[in-house]
Amino acid sequence: MSRDRALSSLRRCLLAGCVVLSSSSGRAAGDEVRWRVFDEAGESLLVIADTDEATDNFGLPALSCKDGMGAVSVEGEAKENLRLQMASLIRADQAPWIQVLPDTGPQTTSIDLFYSFIDGWRYKFMLQADHKAFERFQSEGVLEFKLGDAAIHEEFKVGLENVGKFLALCKPQPKKQ
């Protein structure tokens, strides 16, 4: 495991641990599975979960950011079509640039694939918190991107009010005079 991935995993574990220790509220909306925001120690996490308490039982995709930095990390399950397209790009010695929809401009974001012994192949990429894709995500619960011929469609609609809260935490804050 690379040092960056190990640090990323450690940060997520620490964030989850801090949320568990600082959580004093009960379950919101019962045990309903929904988008939930966890914000602790300057890092925010948006996940699909059934509790406001931090656990390792959450759905994908998962989004994370350092508060106020303006960049969001998107991580999800890398299904077979994505893995095969990535393999084709590797064989052709091409960079894995993705097109995050609805943008039709140049592909400026690359995607990483990695393997987790806990839950298999995953993808990860970064986007600016003000990317047009997040407007659709906030209103419809949809994230879409393409890597070559592989089209990825992630959709989950319950708890969309928390998407806006998460993005507000991620966006750069105005500098104080």
pTM: 0.80
Task: Using DSSP, state whether 93 is helix, strand or coil.
Answer: coil
Q: Contact 43/15 with Cβ under 8 angstroms? A: yes
Minimal CA–CA distance to 153: which of 111, 114, 102?
A: 102
Q: What does the pLDDT read at residue 32?
A: 92
Q: Contact 124/86 with Cβ under 8 angstroms? A: no
Task: Using DSSP, state whether 166 is helix, strand or coil.
Answer: helix
Q: Which residues contact 39 (CB under 8 A, 6 or more apart)?
A: 45, 67, 169
Residue pLDDT, tens place only, 98-127: 999 987 677 779 999 999 998 899 999 999
What is the domain partition of the chain in residue ranges? 3-170
Residue pLDDT, tens place only, 69-95: 999 999 999 999 999 999 999 999 999
**DSSP states of 31-84:** T--EEEEEEETTEEEEEEES-SS--S--EEEEEEEETTSSEEEEEEE--HHHHH
